[in-house]
Amino acid sequence: MKRITSRLAALCTALFAVIAVSAVQAHAEARPVPVAASDKYALRSVGADGLYVSAEVVNSGDREGMLRARKSASSLDELGSWEKFTLHTHDKGWTTTLRSEANGNYVATERNDSGSHKNLLRARSTTVGEWEELHLEKQSDGTYALKAWTNDGYKYVTAEVQDAGTDKGLLRARADSVGSWQKFELVFLGEENASDEGGRPSPASPAPTAEFRAMSWNVCANNNDKCGNYLAEGTDLGTQISARMGSEEEARRYRAVFLQELCESHAKAIEQALETKTGTGWDVRFAPIKYTIDGSSSKAAKTCDRTRTGEDRGAYGTALAVPDSNVWYTSYDLPSPQNQTIKNEWTRMEQRTALCAVLPAQALQFCGVHFSSGGEKEDPKGTKRLEQAELLQDIVHSYTPAGYRTVYGGDFNSVPPDSTSQDTPKTVMTSAYAADEECDEGMLTDRPRDGQVTKPLDGRFIKIDYLFGPSSADISPCSVTADAGKSDHYPIKANFRF
């Protein structure tokens, strides 16, 4: 059976873990967003005898956060936060930006420095711009060269192995060609704790009776400037989401909220809003949507647009809100359209993700997804959405230990099989309806696999948002109010009883 490796379990842990304060971590606490919500990588310098690159965040002044090839490690377990970076992109993968795990800052090329520190690389930026952009160039031996735009044009990043003392191995962009000093191995670190095998706890047995509500809402909070939530702050988004859950008594009945199209920095504010609303503890798990970086096979998290005041909002993606009694969560990379030339234009494609969490004591699992769109430049024929739906069934059923009851939902960007809409294909959701029950299923006698409108689109109205549960559950009809608020989707809600 095809197994897709999860790549976010360890990353989400960092997102909400309680971190002991140290001199290094004091810098990270000033960040408005969590430190790492994407795949982790290390840079290993070929020219510096295989030493790993560190971000020296305890330095001061214009050396603070300087990158230097200095760490010797016989195994990846010996690498600390100084040697760990996440990859981000604000231009769909044309360039990438390194973000330090140690202080949460983006790596910048110091173009205005002089002397031996001219074009030094430092982890010191709180937003992404031209100074933070790097091009990856894959070499014939599998290593990478990093190219930065400087005041003197494009230059390759060099590990200055000939320098002495605390400058030995510092990274700066200054070469016009690639030799061993300009070669780096991009070492993926996410596999270590990213698999969904072995980590998921056994569910309570026998599974207890459970009755709860769930909601899914595409909040449209980043890349659509026609939405009222475009560039929204987390507190505003949290207020909107908690309000859609009804009264305080109704809100306390929720066990899962699936959210799409939001930013990394929204997660904590939404969590706090749900806790205020319900008087109980919540966790909001976040998973980024990624792009494959040009010239590589590596993926970088898509960055959200900045706020209106220019503040960084971190990565862009999906989130899953569950009670804080959850003890395990993971993401799965979904098969997605690959970068390709469409109508003589190189088109970069979003790499989609599924995100799951469990409540072992209640024998419940929740999985949220946001499938690829059917747009002309993404998945117009539905080929990848069909693959995404197939894998989702594996995640929900084959990958899940016996005893868990799974509720899943999200924006599937596909109409139901019995829809009268002109949208095609109508087969994406067939596997889900065959295996499980949707909250609107059977509402229409002549079209049992259809339901209420969740998306007003270009003068037509369609259903593309869903909530599914096992057929053994008692599922109430979907509750959909035709009010998108500041979004371009209607929230969909349902009651589940096991």
Sign (positive/negative) of CA torsion 225, 231, 234, 235?
A: negative
Q: Quick one: fold of 194-497?
A: Deoxyribonuclease I; Chain A (3.60.10)
Q: Are 105 and 138 in contact (CB under 8 A)?
A: no
- Cα(172)–Cα(109) distance, rounded to whole angstroms? 7
Measured CA to CA in angstroms, residue 57 lies from 61, 63, 68, 164 at distances of 11, 9, 11, 19
Cis ω for the linkage preceding 425 (within 30 of 0): yes
Give the single-character DSSP code of 315: B
* 341: number of Cβ within 10 Å: 8
Q: Which of 202, 181, 186, 235 is nearest to 49 (CA)?
A: 181
Q: What is the distance of C-alpha 216 from the center of its chain?
A: 17
- Cα(348)–Cα(137) distance, rounded to whole angstroms? 17
Confidence of residue 257 (pLDDT cuts 50, 70, 90): very high
Q: What is the pLDDT of residue 130?
A: 95
The DSSP bridge partners found for residue 354 are 332, 369
Q: Which of 334, 381, 226, 288 is nearest to 93 (CA)?
A: 288
The per-residue pLDDT for range 170-217, each reduced to its tens digit, is: 999 999 999 999 999 999 987 433 334 457 899 999 999 999 999 999
Which two three-digit tokens encode residue 11? Answer: 């990353």
E strand residue ranges, 126-210: 134-138, 144-150, 153-160, 170-175, 184-188
Q: Looking at the structure, give the CATH architecture of the domain made up of residues 40-188.
A: Trefoil (2.80)
Region 355-380: mean pLDDT is 95
* 130: number of Cβ within 10 Å: 11
- Cα(136)–Cα(6) distance, rounded to whole angstroms? 24
- Cα(188)–Cα(87) distance, rounded to whole angstroms? 11
Q: What is the pLDDT of residue 198?
A: 53
Every domain of the chain and the residues it spans? 40-188, 194-497
The DSSP bridge partners found for residue 215 are 257, 493
Share of the chain above pLDDT 90, in %: 82
> In this model, does residue 139 exceed pLDDT 50?
yes
Q: Which of 4-18, 271-285, 479-493 has the lowest mean pLDDT?
A: 4-18
